Chains A and B, each alone.
Chain A
């Protein structure tokens, strides 16, 4: 009997240790990212990194200004969210409130395919179809613009926004809807005045997760946005080439000697990117918890 108990204890500790790998991984990720990034600031001032308006890694002296990359990421992401949020929420309402359950069951796997398509395939499609189309339609010198990135990222953010919003809408208690309908409201009035407000925090979580997905996307933006590191004007910068933080890391890391100033600068950009997505996820998480709590009431 004692032997059996000991064995059970040993198994439990082993399982705990295995699950601890994720915690160790996150810790190491932070440690290496911030350490390699921090090494930039031995020679290069952190103030210049944050305020310098140009990113010229190969000029002498080199300039590692975060601003053009940060604003590049922000404008592409903002465009993607403006395009995908209304479309995504409307689709989520359709799936959960209007569609026949059988039709909804057919639609969902389709939307999941959108989530599964590799980003490099989106980038390829964008490069070959969307970029030339934008160039012709809007009569631009090049179609490789922030807008092309926003359109592609918008498509890619759709499945996240749809599935999380749908979840939120589905979790609105039926009693609320029935109460509203019984008072003589139409179905749309019920959706608009009762269901959507009740699902609002869940839907905001969906939007936050969509932002997180868009800002961290690399291959697609790298292939369609032209990668010019200048601070974009708002909103006319949408029609110019831009360069995001993610694209900069992926484009330049292959060419820099390990341990050089430029190498550490790219890690510093990665650390900023990590902090941004970390905060976005934190907000999404707390918003989600809030609506779980409401549900419990």
Chain B
């Protein structure tokens, strides 16, 4: 059964459109389902109160604070490391063994499963360095997990800075480092921001690494030092949805927690898109 070229084209294109529609339907169903069910759980109390009655009531305040601390601390390690590495790779390095080794390490780290990072964090930070199961161990682990993302995005941002900028600055007798700091970096910062913002979403959602390095099942207080254990949003959702005797009782809290995680991700993605658009328009002008 051979179809005429025009007819088979119609059939093929319909299939392609259907596939795309199916993918978009997946996104919409997940987002709408979580939003509709989580919406009623959201309230000011939900985000400002401690969990109560063996976590079946009350809010998720300590999990929110735990996640924020995790984001803050891991970014404090990963951002300088990522940006400086990208500067070296794009502005200073010449093809050779050093840059080959760094690129290879970045590629491999980027492809390593997050649970393996968890094992690594457990062996190195928790056990070997003796940081114990703590915010510090978890943040360092997450920082290593997202450094490749930040390096790649920052390097791409540096690559889009026109070569003339460098030449003009160097021709004026400005040193390479001053050129990088005063000319190249300001031009590349918006592009770098998109990578950083996307990795904030990633840190907020990662569960397996923190499960092995310090996340606590239940802790009715805010951690007071970097060596404390902590609650975090994704682990809280996992615990409520899978263990304990009151899984169906805590359903509203689960939906609410899932919605907050989703909101963080959608917000971060939107900011990244806006920055990218703005930046692209500026460059094209």
Spell out A's residues near B (CB within 8 Å): 4, 7-8, 11-12, 15-16, 18-23, 25-26, 28-29, 32-33, 35-36, 86-88, 90-91, 93-95, 98-99, 107, 109-114, 116-125, 127-129, 155, 158, 162, 185-189, 191-192, 209, 212, 215-219, 223, 246, 249-250, 253-254, 258, 266-267, 270, 273-274, 277-278, 280-281, 284-285
A-B pairs with the 8 shortest C-beta distances?
Answer: A118-B205, A216-B113, A90-B19, A188-B9, A281-B111, A15-B88, A19-B85, A32-B123
Asked whether B242 is an interface residue with its Cβ less than 8 Å from the other chain, the reply is yes
Cα A232 to Cα B238 in complex, Å, equals 26
Cα A114 to Cα B205 in complex, Å, equals 13
Asked whether, in the complex, the Cβ of A114 is within 8 Å of the Cβ of B206, the reply is no
Asked whether, in the complex, the Cβ of A250 is within 8 Å of the Cβ of B211, the reply is yes
Pick 20 A–B contacts, CB within 8 A, sort by A. A16-B92, A19-B89, A19-B102, A28-B120, A32-B124, A87-B22, A99-B20, A109-B273, A113-B266, A116-B266, A129-B33, A209-B111, A249-B119, A250-B115, A270-B115, A270-B119, A273-B115, A274-B116, A278-B111, A281-B108
B109 to chain A, nearest CB (A): 6
Q: Which residues of B contact A187 (CB under 8 A)?
A: 9
Residue from the set B108, B176, B204 with the largest chain A CB neighbour count within 10 Å? B108
Asked whether, in the complex, the Cβ of B123 is within 8 Å of the Cβ of A95, the reply is no
Asked whether, in the complex, the Cβ of A219 is within 8 Å of the Cβ of B208, the reply is yes
Q: Which residues of A contact B12 (CB under 8 A)?
A: 188, 191-192
Partner of B198, one of A87, A93, A116, A280: A116
Asked whether, in the complex, the Cβ of B123 is within 8 Å of the Cβ of A26, the reply is no
Cα A124 to Cα B27 in complex, Å, equals 15
Cα A169 to Cα B26 in complex, Å, equals 23
Asked whether, in the complex, the Cβ of B206 is within 8 Å of the Cβ of A118, the reply is yes
Partner of A107, one of B24, B30, B106, B120: B24
Q: A15-B87, A18-B88, A23-B105 are in contact. List 7 more A-B contacts (CB 8 A).
A: A19-B93, A29-B112, A33-B123, A98-B17, A114-B23, A116-B202, A277-B112
Q: Which residues of B contact A33 (CB under 8 A)?
A: 116, 119-120, 123
Asked whether, in the complex, the Cβ of B87 is within 8 Å of the Cβ of A91, the reply is no
Cα A191 to Cα B207 in complex, Å, equals 41
Known A-B contacts A188-B12, A188-B13; A110 and B24 likewise in contact (beta carbons under 8 Å): yes
Nearest-CB residue, chain A, relative to B148: A22
Partner of B123, one of A88, A113, A267: A267
B21 to chain A, nearest CB (A): 9
Asked whether, in the complex, the Cβ of A95 is within 8 Å of the Cβ of B120, the reply is no
Cα A155 to Cα B26 in complex, Å, equals 8
Asked whether, in the complex, the Cβ of A22 is within 8 Å of the Cβ of B109, the reply is yes
A93 to chain B, nearest CB (A): 6
Asked whether, in the complex, the Cβ of A23 is within 8 Å of the Cβ of B102, the reply is yes
Partner of B26, one of A119, A158, A188, A218: A158
Contact bitstring B247-266, A, C-beta under 8 A = 1, else 0: 00000001000100110011
Asked whether, in the complex, the Cβ of B119 is within 8 Å of the Cβ of A109, the reply is no
Asked whether, in the complex, the Cβ of B20 is within 8 Å of the Cβ of A18, the reply is no
Cα A90 to Cα B8 in complex, Å, equals 15
B53 to chain A, nearest CB (A): 22
Nearest-CB residue, chain A, relative to B80: A18
Asked whether, in the complex, the Cβ of B31 is within 8 Å of the Cβ of A113, the reply is yes
Q: Which residues of A contact B117 (CB under 8 A)?
A: 29
Contact bitstring B191-202, A, C-beta under 8 A = 1, else 0: 000000010011
Asked whether, in the complex, the Cβ of B114 is within 8 Å of the Cβ of A216, the reply is yes
Tally chain B residues at the interface, Cβ within 8 Å. 85
Asked whether B81 is an interface residue with its Cβ less than 8 Å from the other chain, the reply is yes
A63 to chain B, nearest CB (A): 21
Q: Which residues of B contact A21 (CB under 8 A)?
A: 81, 85, 147
Cα A116 to Cα B242 in complex, Å, equals 22
Asked whether, in the complex, the Cβ of A107 is within 8 Å of the Cβ of B20, the reply is yes
Known A-B contacts A90-B15, A110-B27, A118-B265; A218 and B20 likewise in contact (beta carbons under 8 Å): no
Asked whether, in the complex, the Cβ of A11 is within 8 Å of the Cβ of B201, the reply is no
Residue from the set A28, A94, A158, A246 with the largest chain B CB neighbour count within 10 Å? A94
Q: Which residues of B contact A8 (CB under 8 A)?
A: 175-177
Nearest-CB residue, chain A, relative to B16: A94
Asked whether, in the complex, the Cβ of B237 is within 8 Å of the Cβ of A277, the reply is no
A217 to chain B, nearest CB (A): 7
Q: Within residues 215 to 273 of chain B, which ones have a CB less than 8 A from any CB in chain A?
A: 234-235, 237-238, 241-242, 254, 258, 261-262, 265-266, 268-270, 273
Partner of A218, one of B115, B147, B241: B115
Known A-B contacts A22-B85, A218-B208, A246-B208; A116 and B102 likewise in contact (beta carbons under 8 Å): no
Asked whether, in the complex, the Cβ of B262 is within 8 Å of the Cβ of A117, the reply is yes
Nearest-CB residue, chain B, relative to A190: B9
Asked whether, in the complex, the Cβ of A223 is within 8 Å of the Cβ of B238, the reply is yes
Q: Within residues 1 to 40 of chain B, which ones have a CB less than 8 A from any CB in chain A?
A: 5-6, 8-9, 12-13, 15-17, 19-20, 22-24, 26-27, 30-31, 33-34
Asked whether, in the complex, the Cβ of B234 is within 8 Å of the Cβ of A118, the reply is yes
Asked whether, in the complex, the Cβ of B115 is within 8 Å of the Cβ of A212, the reply is no
Cα A265 to Cα B204 in complex, Å, equals 29
Asked whether B127 is an interface residue with its Cβ less than 8 Å from the other chain, the reply is yes
Cα A4 to Cα B127 in complex, Å, equals 44
Partner of A12, one of B5, B92, B101, B212: B92
Partner of B175, one of A4, A36, A267: A4
